[in-house]
Amino acid sequence: MKGYRRYFLNKALWFLVTLVCAFILNFFLPRLMPGDPVAAIVARMAQGMSNATGVQAIYQQYTELFGTNKPLLQQFFIYVNNVLHGNFGFSFSFYPRTVASVIKSSIWWTICLQFPAIIVGWLIGNTLGALAAYRKKGFDKVLMPVSIFVSNFPAFGMAVILMVVFGVGLKWFPTSGGYGFDLIPNLSWKFIWSVIVHYQLPFWSIVLIAIGMQAIGMRSMAIYELNADYVKYSRFMGIKDRKIIRYVFRNAMLPQVTGLALSIGTMVGGALVAEIIFSYPGLGYTMLNAIMGGDYPLISATTLIVTLMVLTTMFLIDIIYAFIDPRIKAAQFD
């Protein structure tokens, strides 16, 4: 058990160090941007005002409110303190909403879109990949080039093509938004149906690419395992083919499970593009708006959430793996 404790402490320390580094990068990088976003907001608010002192007063009030008049280092400590209390400050571009409320309203859209898409893509992709490795011949000859091509397809290209074919051409599904623009979110059947219809295109654009990627990974893993010595040995022993295949695919699954965990962790960052193309009201679309509006509190917060999710997943994978596969823990201390 001593080995485990040392391993976990080591991992936890790394988790903290990386988190601090990521946090610092998250705070300082967007603020290094040339130009004054507060001035841009004030210019928008003060449109048509001719009184220079009035504009000056508004500017003063906003810099006070957003805290941009203090030195950067002091701002950083105030920010750290606020974040620890769950307060990310005001959003510049969505003012008077706070960053926390903007993110709270968008993150569920992203999770509900990506989580099922990743699971479905992973299941279909792995089944196809395993079949390709086992059947070979014609199935493999057709499936492999297709999946290589599909998985190399840029995510936005897939999204655009689905949108043109099914949204603009066949008019089966709407091309943008998370629900009908004439509806207010509520629990009526009409609203739910509208959400389901709007869901389809972003969902499938993510699933298709995931299928291609998983199929390639699973195929090469399965081929590798099928050629392993234990398979030949089992054949000589006269063990039934079906049973061997069960072993083979269980072994080939292990890296694929890591892949699944990783893509769940990175999901918020993974398909920003699909959200942007379909104007889906999730985190990616919020990030786009934040970038367009020079809204660095919002950018910091969105990237921080993405980073935090990835870090946590990696940490959990490390911990769980140490139990599943003791060799990994041992390898750390060579």
Partner 1 sequence: MKHMIRQVFRPGKFLFGFILFLALLLMTIVYPLIIKDAPLAIIGRGTFFPPGIYMNVFDSIGSPQYTLMLDDAAANRIGSKLGNAERLAMKEWLVADGIPGNEIDIANTEKLIEQWENNYDPAQSIAGMTYAKQLYYQRLNTSLQGILSIEGAIIAGNNPESGVLEESNSVAQTDYVNIREVPNVRVLPLGTDNFGRDVLTELVSALATSLKIGFVAGTVATLIGLTLGLLSGYIGGLIDDIIMFFTNIFTVIPTFVLLILISFSIGQEHRGAFTIAVVIGFTSWVWTTRAVRAQVISLRNRDHVNLSKLSGHSIAHIIVADILPYIASYVVMAFILQISSGILMEAGLSILGLGPKTTEVPTLGLMMNWAMIYQAPTLGKWWAYLPVVVTIALITFSMNLMNTGLDQVFNPALRD
Q: Which residues bind partner 1 (CB under 8 A)?
A: 14, 17-18, 21-22, 25-26, 29-35, 136, 148-149, 152-157, 160-161, 163-164, 167-168, 175, 220, 223-224, 227, 266, 269, 272-273, 276-277, 287-288, 291-292, 296, 299, 303, 306-307, 310-311, 314
Closest approach, Cβ 24 to partner 1, in A, equals 11
Residue 97, phi then psi, degrees to nearest 5: -75, 150
By beta-carbon proximity to partner 1, the closer residue of 46 and 313 is 313
First to last CA, the chain: 18
> What is the distance of C-alpha 200 from the center of its chain?
18
Cα–Cα distance, 287 to 58 (Å, whole number): 27
Closest approach, Cβ 329 to partner 1, in A, equals 17
Of residues 86, 79, 101, the one with CA closest to residue 30: 79
Cα–Cα distance, 255 to 324 (Å, whole number): 12
Closest approach, Cβ 145 to partner 1, in A, equals 9
Closest approach, Cβ 32 to partner 1, in A, equals 4
Closest approach, Cβ 286 to partner 1, in A, equals 12
Closest approach, Cβ 209 to partner 1, in A, equals 11
Closest approach, Cβ 213 to partner 1, in A, equals 11
By beta-carbon proximity to partner 1, the closer residue of 113 and 309 is 309
Cα–Cα distance, 272 to 126 (Å, whole number): 24
Closest approach, Cβ 165 to partner 1, in A, equals 10
CB crowding 58-77: b at 16 or more within 10 Å, else e: bbeebbeebebeeeeeebbe
Cα–Cα distance, 65 to 150 (Å, whole number): 49
98 strand-pairing partners: 90
**Structure tokens given for 255:** 């890296």
By beta-carbon proximity to partner 1, the closer residue of 117 and 132 is 132
90 strand-pairing partners: 98
By beta-carbon proximity to partner 1, the closer residue of 207 and 287 is 287
By beta-carbon proximity to partner 1, the closer residue of 187 and 251 is 251
By beta-carbon proximity to partner 1, the closer residue of 244 and 287 is 287
By beta-carbon proximity to partner 1, the closer residue of 134 and 191 is 134
By beta-carbon proximity to partner 1, the closer residue of 41 and 267 is 267
Those residues with Cβ within 8 angstroms of residue 140's Cβ, 6 or more apart along the chain or in another chain: 132, 133, 219
By beta-carbon proximity to partner 1, the closer residue of 42 and 276 is 276
Q: What is the DSSP letter of 334?
A: -
Question: Got the DSSP string for 27-38?
Answer: HHHHHTSSS-HH
Closest approach, Cβ 149 to partner 1, in A, equals 5
**The total number of residues written for the chain in this structure:** 334
Of residues 77, 110, 106, the one with CA closest to residue 91: 106
Cα–Cα distance, 82 to 69 (Å, whole number): 17
